[in-house]
Amino acid sequence: MLQSFAILLVFQLAGEACTQLLHLAVPGPVLGMALLFAAIALRPALGYAMRTTTGGLLQHLSMLFVPAGVGVMLHAGRLRDEWLAIVVAVVLGAVVTLAVTALTIRVLADRMPQQEAGEE
């Protein structure tokens, strides 16, 4: 269990270091997760070794949202002042995401060979 936590923290640190050194606009933990994903894809035994620890973290995932909730409460005044911009950004972001996803699916569906009726 301790070894799995150490692996997770090393990949988070590696992601943070890459972000800082390369001046990337991607958060360090996100880059660290991508690096961990690549490592597990290259060496699946790493994923199996971490299964128990990561399963335990996922069971208690809601506890990891407590700091985000505290941050929202801490900045409640700012949210009250800028609620319109936040709502517009969230709604517009969702609409753009849905539109891009629909267009991507349409393009990919047009490129795939059509199956004949009755074929599965």
Could you report the per-residue pLDDT of 41-100, keeping only the tens digit for each? Answer: 999 999 898 998 888 888 888 887 788 788 888 888 988 999 999 999 999 999 999 999
% of the chain exceeding 90 in pLDDT: 56
> How buried is residue 32: exposed, middle or buried, by Cβ count under 10 Å (0-12/13-18/19+)?
buried
User: 114 is in which domain, residue-wise?
Assistant: 70-120
For residues 97 and 51, state if they share a domain. Answer: no
Exposure string of 82-108, with b = 16+ CB inside 10 Å and e = fewer, is eeeeeeeeeeeeeeeeeeeeeeeeeee
User: Residue 103 falls within a domain, yes or no?
Assistant: yes
User: Residue 31 falls within a domain, yes or no?
Assistant: yes
- Which pTM was predicted? 0.56
